[in-house]
Amino acid sequence: MSPDLSVTELAKVLFCSDLQPSQAAEPQAVSTALRRGLRAHGGQLEICAAELASCYGDDPETASRRMRWALSLIIATYQGPPLAA
């Protein structure tokens, strides 16, 4: 994945991707989901963030859980195991 994107930016893209927490989260699946997610939004992270807000504006608890999952998965995939909370 692009070294120009931060962990938070990658998590936003993963959040908007079609990868689900119930699916296998192998590094290849994460990388594929990120590429598809970026392509689907024309490489524009702002569009992904706007979609994120519109899809989950009425259900912030679901959005919060999905973002924690996405962030944890990005950290585990690209930076090693996440820190214990």
Query: 27-66, pLDDT tens digit by residue?
Result: 999 999 999 988 887 777 777 767 776 777 777 787 888 8
Give the pTM: 0.76
> For position 49, what pLDDT does the model report?
67
φ, ψ of residue 3 to 5 degrees: the values are -70, -10
Cα of 61 vs its chain's centroid, Å: 16
Answer whether residue 82 shows pLDDT above 60.
Answer: no
